[in-house]
C-alpha cells in the first residue's frame, strides 16, 4: 500500500483500529508487529486463538507491496481471503484444484494489481508459473503459517514446506520472513529458523497460559456416560474429538438419541456436506460437533465452551492445539480429556500401523505407480485422483497401513497427497460442427446453451477444457441446474464428453518413477522418525498418567516455558484444594 495514498494508517495501533475496530493489541502482538516492521525475520509462537493473523496482516498493510502467505489448508486460505475482503482489503488465493487459466489470472492480478495479500498452498511454490510471476511482484512480506510443518522434528512435517527456503532466494534480501505457529518445542523452533534461513535467531513466544481454560483429565471406563454428562452439564457450543470416522457417527447419533443436538464431521463426507455442518455449528443451529481431527483448523468461532477428547491424541502438540479451540472469547471454558489404559495401548498399536516395515513402504511406492500404469522414468509432475479404498482393494491391502506408507513416502519428498480439493467440471464437444449444427436447428434450448459455451470456450472442440457451469449460467441467463441438466443430456447422446465437478484427494508426483534400487528410504532416517513418534506418544502418556503435577505446568514445560506456576483450575490443582 503506497504511503502517498490518503487515509493510510501511520501506526500499528491506527491500522488495527481502522481495519479491525480494536483499541488495543493482545499480549505480544505489538512486539511481533514492531519486529516485522523493523525488517527482521521473526518466528512468532502464539497459542490457538492468540491472534496470529493480525501479527502479519497489520505490518503488511503498513508496507508497500503484496504479502505472500504460505498456508497448508485450502479451507483456511479461503476463510482468510473472505475475512480480508469483508474488511475491504484486496486478497487472492492460489491452491490445488484451480484451473491453469484461473491460476494465471490470479497471479497476474497479484503481480500487476493493487492487491495486498496472496495466499498460496506450499505445493504451488515449486511451479515455474508461480516462480516466474513472483519475480514480477513487489513483495512486502513472506509469511509461513503453520510453520512447524517445515521441521522434520515437528509433529506434522510436510516436505513441500522445504521449498520456502528456495523462494527466499528469489526475493530481495530486505523482504522479511514471518513464521507463525501455535505449537513448537524448543528443538522445533530452532529448526524452523534454520530451515527458513533466518538472518539471525528471533523468536517471540507468547505465554501459553489460558487462565479462562480449565484442563480436566478424567479416567473413565464408561466414556459414553461421561461424555453425555459433560455435554448436558456444560451449556453452549462444544467440540468432541474422536479417532475414527465411525466413532464420530456413532457418538453423534447417541447424543441425538439423548436429546443433545450433535452432528458428525469427518473427511469421509463430501466438501458440501462438511461446509453445511460447519455453518450450522458456527451459527448455533447445531450445538456440538463430533469430529476427527479434520475439524477445527482455522475455524473462527470464539464462544466454544468446551472441547472434549473422547479418544486420546497421539502428542501434546495435537492435544494443545485442539484443546485451545475452547474459550477463545476469554470466558470460562473447559478442555476435558477422557482416558483409560486401553487408550495408551491403542496409541502404541497405532504406532506400529503408522510405521510399517521399510520393505512394505518400498513395495507401496511401486504399487502406487502400478495403480496408474505409470512406467519407470514416467509420472514426473503429474497429478492423479487418489482413492485409498480403491487402491487398497486392488492390491488387497489393509487401508490404514497402506495410507501410512503413502504418508511416509510423502514425508520423504517423493509425492504430495493434497487435502481434499475441488476438481472443476470438464467438457469436450465430441462431434463435428456440422453434426452439432443439426442439433442446434432441431432444439432451440440446446442452441442457446451451445452458443454460449462455444463463445466462452473457443477450444472446446479440440479437447477437454475446464468449465464453470455457474459462469455459463450467468452469461447465458440460465439457471445453473438447467445448464448441468442440458450438458448431461448432450453427454447421454454422445454429442459431448462431460465430467461434472467433483471433490477428490490428489496425489502429485514430485519426480519420475524410480526403480527399486534408486528409491532412497534410509533405515537410519526411518528409525529416527519412529523414535520421535514414540517420544511424543510417551510424553502424552506421561501427561495423563501423572496426577502429581499441575496439567498446565507440565504442558508449558514440554513447550519450553520454564517459568510456570500452578494454574489453580485443572483437575490436579482442584484435587489439592480439597
Question: pLDDT for 358-384, tens place per residue?
Answer: 999 999 999 999 999 999 999 998 888
Candidate CATH numbers 3.30.420.40, 3.20.10.10, 2.70.98.10, 1.10.10.10; the one for domain 348-421+505-531: 1.10.10.10
- Predicted confidence band at 8 (pLDDT cuts at 50, 70, 90)? low
Question: What nine digits make up the cell of 302?
Answer: 470464539
pLDDT for the residue 290: 96
Contact 420, 503 (CB under 8 A): yes
pLDDT tens by residue, 385-435: 899 989 999 999 999 899 999 999 998 989 988 766 667 788 999 999 889
Q: What is the pLDDT confidence band of residue 6, given thresholds at 50, 70 and 90?
A: very low
Is the domain defined by 213-339 classed in CATH 3.40.50.300?
yes
Specify the higher pLDDT residue, 154 or 142.
142
pLDDT band at 4 (very low <50, low <70, confident <90, very high): very low
Per-residue confidence (pLDDT) for residue 457, from 0 to 100: 92
Concatenating the DSSP letter of every residue in 426-463 gives EEEE-S-HHHHHHHHHH-HHHHHHHHHHHHH-TTTTTS
Provide the residue count of the chain: 578
Per-residue confidence at 2, pLDDT binned at 50, 70, 90? very low
**Residue 163: its pLDDT value, please?**
87
Round to whole Å and give the CA distance between 57 and 206.
18
CATH code reported for the domain at 12-205: 3.40.50.300
Mean pLDDT of the chain: 90
C-alpha cell at 440: 442446434
Measure the CA–CA gap between 569 and 473, rounded to whole angstroms.
57
CA pair distance 336, 263, nearest whole angstrom = 19
pLDDT of residue 458 exceeding 70, the answer is yes
Sequence spans of domains, the chain: 12-205, 213-339, 348-421+505-531, 425-500
Say what the pLDDT of residue 343 is: 94
pLDDT at 7: 53
Check if 12-205 and 348-421+505-531 are the same fold. no
Run of H or E residues at 551: helix 551-558
Q: Which of 156-160, 213-217, 282-286 has the lowest mean pLDDT?
A: 156-160
DSSP lists the bridge partners of residue 91 as: 117
User: From start to end of 49-194, where are the E strands?
Assistant: 66-70, 91-94, 117-120, 139-144, 177-181
Higher pLDDT, 340 or 158: 340
Segment 294-339, tens digit of pLDDT: 676 556 688 999 999 999 999 999 899 899 899 988 899 999 999 9
Q: Which pLDDT does position 420 carry in this prediction?
A: 63
Least confident of 3-7, 23-27, 80-84: 3-7
Q: What is the pLDDT of residue 5?
A: 43
For residue 9, the model assigns a pLDDT of 63
Amino acid at each position: 500500500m503506497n504511503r502517498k495514498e490518503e487515509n493510510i494508517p501511520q501506526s500499528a495501533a491506527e491500522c488495527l483500529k481502522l481495519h479491525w475496530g480494536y483499541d488495543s493489541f493482545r499480549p505480544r502482538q505489538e512486539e511481533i508487529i514492531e519486529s516485522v516492521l523493523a525488517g527482521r525475520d521473526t518466528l512468532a509462537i502464539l497459542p490457538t486463538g492468540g491472534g496470529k493473523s493480525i501479527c502479519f496482516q497489520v505490518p503488511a498493510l503498513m508496507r508497500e507491496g503484496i504479502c505472500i502467505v504460505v498456508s497448508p489448508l485450502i479451507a483456511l486460505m479461503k476463510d482468510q481471503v473472505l475475512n480480508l475482503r469483508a474488511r475491504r482489503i484486496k486478497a487472492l488465493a492460489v491452491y490445488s484444484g484451480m484451473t491453469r487459466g484461473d491460476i494465471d489470472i490470479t497471479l497476474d492480478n497479484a503481480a500487476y494489481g493493487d492487491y495486498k495479500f496472496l495466499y498460496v498452498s506450499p505445493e504451488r511454490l515449486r511451479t515455474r508459473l508461480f516462480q516466474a510471476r513472483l519475480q514480477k511482484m513487489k513483495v512486502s512480506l513472506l509469511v509461513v503459517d503453520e510453520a512447524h510443518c517445515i521441521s522434520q522434528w515437528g509433529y506434522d512435517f510436510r516436505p513441500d514446506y522445504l521449498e520456502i527456503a528456495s523462494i527466499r532466494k528469489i526475493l530481495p534480501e530486505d523482504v522479511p520472513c514471518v513464521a507463525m505457529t501455535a505449537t513448537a518445542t524448543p528443538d522445533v523452533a530452532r529448526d524452523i529458523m534454520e530451515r527458513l534461513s533466518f538472518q539471525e535467531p528471533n523468536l517471540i513466544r507468547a505465554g501459553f497460559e489460558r487462565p479462562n481454560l480449565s484442563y480436566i483429565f478424567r479416567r473413565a471406563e464408561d466414556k459414553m456416560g461421561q461424555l453425555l454428562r459433560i455435554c448436558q452439564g456444560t451449556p453452549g457450543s462444544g467440540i468432541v474429538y474422536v479417532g475414527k470416522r465411525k466413532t464420530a457417527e456413532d457418538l453423534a447419533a447417541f447424543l441425538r438419541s439423548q436429546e443433545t443436538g450433535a452432528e458428525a464431521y469427518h473427511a469421509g463426507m463430501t466438501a458440501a456436506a462438511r461446509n453445511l455442518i460447519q455453518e450450522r455449528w458456527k451459527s448455533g443451529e447445531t450445538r456440538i460437533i463430533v469430529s476427527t481431527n479434520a475439524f477445527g483448523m482455522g475455524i473462527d468461532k470464539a464462544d466454544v465452551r468446551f472441547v472434549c477428547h473422547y479418544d486420546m491424541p497421539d502428542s501434546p502438540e495435537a492435544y494443545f492445539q485442539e484443546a485451545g479451540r475452547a474459550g477463545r472469547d476469554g470466558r470460562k471454558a473447559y478442555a476435558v480429556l477422557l482416558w483409560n489404559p486401553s487408550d495408551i495401548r491403542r496409541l502404541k498399536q497405532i504406532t506400529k500401523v503408522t510405521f510399517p516395515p521399510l520393505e512394505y513402504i518400498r513395495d507401496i511406492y511401486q504399487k502406487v505407480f502400478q495403480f496408474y500404469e505409470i512406467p519407470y522414468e514416467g509420472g514426473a509432475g503429474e497429478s492423479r485422483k487418489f482413492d485409498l479404498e480403491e487402491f487398497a482393494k486392488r492390491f488387497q491391502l489393509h487401508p490404514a497401513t497402506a495410507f501410512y506408507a503413502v504418508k511416509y513416502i510423502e514425508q520423504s519428498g517423493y509425492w504430495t497427497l493434497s487435502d481434499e480439493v475441488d476438481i472443476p467440471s470438464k467438457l469436450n464437444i465430441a462431434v463435428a460442427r456440422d453434426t452439432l449444427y443439426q442439433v442446434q436447428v432441431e432444439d432451440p434450448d440446446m442452441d442457446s446453451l451451445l452458443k454460449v459455451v462455444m463463445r466462452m470456450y473457443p477450444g472446446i472442440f479440440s479437447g477437454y477444457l475446464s468449465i464453470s457451469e455457474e459462469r455459463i449460467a450467468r452469461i447465458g441467463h440460465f439457471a445453473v441446474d438447467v445448464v448441468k441438466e442440458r450438458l448431461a443430456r448432450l453427454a447421454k447422446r454422445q454429442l459431448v464428453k462431460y465430467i461434472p465437478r467433483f471433490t477428490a484427494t490428489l496425489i502429485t508426483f514430485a519426480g519420475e518413477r524410480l526403480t527399486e534400487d534408486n528409491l532412497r528410504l534410509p533405515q537410519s532416517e526411518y528409525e529416527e522418525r519412529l523414535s520421535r513418534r514414540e517420544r511424543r506418544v510417551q510424553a502424552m502418556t506421561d501427561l495423563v498418567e501423572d496426577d502429581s503435577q499441575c496439567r498446565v505446568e507440565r504442558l508449558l514445560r514440554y513447550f519450553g516455558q520454564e517459568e510456570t506456576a500452578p494454574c489453580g483450575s485443572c483437575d490436579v490443582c482442584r484435587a489439592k484444594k480439597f
